Chain A
């Protein structure tokens, strides 16, 4: 893993006229990694992928694949292959001809092509479909042909542009797991573009969250979810509560203040924040517990606690979402697992104390 990165983007910028699609992006992707570019539509993730593939050329910056600078190299001279969003299978060719295309272009001899196409189709469970045309296949099957057509070339890096987007939910879930195990099996670096955070969390080794052309955070899924370093990341990945706060103290411990003067400890704050600044306190709903007054332990520096009234209960099977109205008018949602059926539930209007471990609370810039 300490060798040269499989793909390296150094300060890459791509503008289309007035619009900056990719804004000073630097990423290092390791060999054999399942790396995702995650963000809402228009965030620049697909453009970034197209820059790596060579369909677009960077306005400035540098892209290296396997240590080699790509410059203005056209797509057909780059050691990467792409699985397109809508598969882009050649409709006038059979499945066999589609998969063999890349090998034919590389002038590989016919016996070898036959063998490798056979292997690739076997890998994606499409043996016996060689003579069919793409339109005679289901969406899932077309997806597999697209995958085989790319992987048969044994690229250094496989680029996938929302490859599961066109499939229905159930098939998508199955394909997620299949893709992941396929990637582990072939050991090729995957760069995966998606707007589906759950998909990215499920499959990726690391994820780059993008918005408005910028990479906001690159981390492993758990790190990204537990320790978002940016308000957009906290908001985009999973659900979170945002409480508007004012920073009271940053050293040695972080303390913030709600509108009504309630002081709360927090675990982490963005580096550029200063005492006295307005900010957002982010806390995930499942980290919050609700207590009655008599259950409370004496206050301490590592526990945050706010008083409020239960306003709404939403039962969703595994959990119940409790909306609590705080004294200053803000609301937070606590997601409590339905662990004991016989447990006495909270009722609307009851006074409650929401409490969480300060380590889970993160102070993020308001923007």
Chain B
């Protein structure tokens, strides 16, 4: 900072320094209260997952027993594997379908495009519970879906109802499509023309230019889908039928029998998982930001 700007700042600040200080103090205070409101419950959950007592209200010393107990609980571990399996499979399917939907809506015009466009947003807008009931009715009426997919997943024998995976795909497609489409809309189309001009046919153009340029959007969409699938309770609960639990559904079942620090431990684990995913998505988005600059430079 040069002396000139320093004096300028001082001069501007001089007329009402007191009030300004008070204002910024209040603003900081408001910020802190706001963050406490949001994060205090989470912090408490994390702290009491280490509490050496069955009580979730009084601190009685540090322990990792609840984590041990959690890991020993085969029901919890099984539901964790169920969650991961559903998330991975539904993310894979919805990423491909969502990306194709985005391409179709952004690049082609066809009869009924507006309708398809609006319908695609529905799962984002309507309440989960409405979507869940619609899916439940659909599976009941059609009679498909509730039979389990018996599969060996990383050494665990799972029986996952198709209905759960179909339900997750149904809402994830929309989120992937929206994210990919935003990326696609920002993409410079002359890049594709340039590829075609350089003898790349339609498939090669997609493979060598469009897809790599879209990749940050596709990965972002996939990550979003994965997180949403992992967190989902309502739709899973309604579409799973009897005897199938993902982690959130399992936690809900445990809470009915009373809150124990074991639930805190499970919640902390899920929190860590979500944090890791958010971290990856931020990393990806920063990289995507770099690319965006490039495109704008190229425009």
User: Is there an interface contact between B198 and A105, defined as CB atoms closer than 8 Å?
Assistant: yes
Q: How far is the CA of A313 from the CA of B197 in the complex (A)?
A: 52
Q: Decide yes or no whether A57 CB sits under 8 A from chain B.
A: no
Known: A74-B201, A76-B196, A90-B194. 10 other contacts (CB 8 A): A53-B197, A75-B196, A82-B197, A89-B194, A91-B294, A101-B200, A134-B294, A135-B293, A150-B197, A153-B198
Q: Which residues in chain A, 228-252, are within 8 Å of chain B measured between CB atoms?
A: none
Name the residue among B196, B198, B212, B294 with the largest chain A CB count within 10 angstroms.
B198
User: Is there an interface contact between B294 and A88, defined as CB atoms closer than 8 Å?
Assistant: no
Task: Report which of A89, A101, A150, A153 forms a contact with B298, defined as CB distance below 8 A.
Answer: A89
Contact mask for chain A residues 76-98; partner B; CB cutoff 8 A; 1 contact, 0 none: 10001110111111111000000
Q: How far is the CA of A85 from the CA of B195 in the complex (A)?
A: 15
Q: How far is the CA of A252 from the CA of B190 in the complex (A)?
A: 56
Task: Report which of B196, B200, B213 forms a contact with A92, defined as CB distance below 8 A.
Answer: B213
The total of chain B residues at the interface (CB under 8 A) is 25
User: Is there an interface contact between B294 and A133, defined as CB atoms closer than 8 Å?
Assistant: yes
Residues of A within 8 A of B (CB): 53-55, 74-76, 80-82, 84-92, 101-102, 105-106, 133-135, 142, 149-150, 153
Q: How far is the CA of A195 from the CA of B208 in the complex (A)?
A: 33
User: Is there an interface contact between A84 and B297, defined as CB atoms closer than 8 Å?
Assistant: no
Chain B residues lying within 8 Å of A76, measured Cβ to Cβ, are 196-201
Chain B residues lying within 8 Å of A102, measured Cβ to Cβ, are 198-199
Smallest CB gap from A135: residue in B = B294
Chain A residues lying within 8 Å of B196, measured Cβ to Cβ, are 54-55, 74-76
Q: How far is the CA of A142 from the CA of B212 in the complex (A)?
A: 20
Smallest CB gap from A161: residue in B = B190
B184 CB, nearest partner CB in chain A, Å: 15
Chain A residues lying within 8 Å of B190, measured Cβ to Cβ, are 84-86, 88
Q: Decide yes or no whether B156 CB sits under 8 A from chain A.
A: no
Chain B residues lying within 8 Å of A75, measured Cβ to Cβ, are 193, 196-197
Task: Report which of B195, B291, B299 forms a contact with A101, defined as CB distance below 8 A.
Answer: B195
Q: How far is the CA of A55 from the CA of B188 in the complex (A)?
A: 15
Q: Decide yes or no whether B204 CB sits under 8 A from chain A.
A: yes
Chain A residues lying within 8 Å of B208, measured Cβ to Cβ, are 101
Q: How far is the CA of A101 from the CA of B198 in the complex (A)?
A: 7
Q: How far is the CA of A200 from the CA of B63 in the complex (A)?
A: 81
Q: Decide yes or no whether B191 CB sits under 8 A from chain A.
A: yes
Chain B residues lying within 8 Å of A133, measured Cβ to Cβ, are 294
A72 CB, nearest partner CB in chain B, Å: 14
User: Is there an interface contact between B204 and A105, defined as CB atoms closer than 8 Å?
Assistant: yes
Smallest CB gap from B292: residue in A = A91
Smallest CB gap from B291: residue in A = A91
User: Is there an interface contact between A88 and B191, defined as CB atoms closer than 8 Å?
Assistant: yes
Q: How far is the CA of A54 from the CA of B199 in the complex (A)?
A: 12
Q: Could you name 14 residue pairs across A and B whose Cβ atoms are closer than 8 Å?
A: A53-B197, A75-B193, A76-B196, A76-B197, A76-B201, A82-B197, A86-B299, A87-B298, A89-B298, A90-B195, A101-B200, A135-B294, A153-B198, A153-B199
Smallest CB gap from B200: residue in A = A105
Name the residue among A76, A91, A134, A135 with the largest chain B CB count within 10 angstroms.
A91
Q: Which residues in chain B, 168-219, are within 8 Å of chain A measured between CB atoms?
A: 188, 190-191, 193-202, 204, 208-209, 212-213
Q: Decide yes or no whether B295 CB sits under 8 A from chain A.
A: yes
Q: Taking A76-B196, A92-B212 as contacts, is the C-beta distance between A86 and B298 under 8 angstroms? A: yes
Chain A residues lying within 8 Å of B297, measured Cβ to Cβ, are 91, 134-135
